[in-house]
Copies of this chain bind each other. A is one copy, B any other.
Amino acid sequence: MATRTDAPTRREQILKEAARLFAERGFHGVGVDEIGAAVGISGPGLYRHFPGKDAMLAELLVGISDSLLTGAKRRLAEDGAAGAEAVLDSLIEGHIDFALDDRPLITLHDRELDRLRDADRKMVRQLQRQYVELWVGVLREVYPAVAEPAARSAVHSVFGLLNSTPHLGRPGRAVTASLLHRMARGAFAAVGEA
């Protein structure tokens, strides 16, 4: 399990603050001095931990995409025996957890992808595509009548729905999670029953 109880490393502090700032003001809108100030060191000190500003964004985006995909694969393996419906619910739940717990990251995820170097962008895109295709596969098991392109569009749209958390009020985590879950299922059902 490796539940983390230790204090966060400096690197992790930097990544967390950088994510927050990038999400708030955009990658180009944040200077390295601000990121440094956010963790109590000053600008150039960051270069002891990262080769450059781009590298921070790259690590963030690859990390998000990878952990989304890894979590989804795990859920597919664990809940697969319980049927496609259960897996779909589990995927939705996982994505909602992520959107609620790491709002800055979910914002960056679909907003700053184009600021990456080619190699990093390709990697992120590949992880994202695998994540989408995993959802598409499960969705089409639940609703076999849905053609693949429609399923893919539906998945992207539901991501848009779930990723709307930054715009939502804060009426308690469980309430929001439940609402989002029901809406996602409702949206999928509307595609499946067409």
Contact = CB atoms under 8 A, between A and B. Distances in A.
A107 to B, nearest CB: 9
B110 A167 contact: yes
B171 A167 contact: no
B186 A182 contact: no
Contacts of A182: 190-191, 194
Chain A contact residues, majority secondary structure: helix
13 contacts: A25-B114, A26-B27, A28-B29, A29-B115, A110-B167, A150-B175, A153-B176, A157-B183, A160-B160, A160-B162, A186-B187, A186-B188, A186-B190
Interface in A155-194: 156-164, 167-169, 171, 175-176, 179-180, 182-191, 194
Interface residues of A, number: 44
Given A28-B29, A150-B179, A153-B179, A187 B161 contact: yes
A40 interface: no
Interface string A137-160: 000000000000110111011111
A170 to B, nearest CB: 10
A156 B164 CA distance: 7
Interface in A11-32: 24-29
Contacts of A186: 186-191
Most chain B CB within 10 A, of A24, A111, A168, is at A168
A146 to B, nearest CB: 10
A169 B188 CA distance: 18
A25 to B, nearest CB: 6
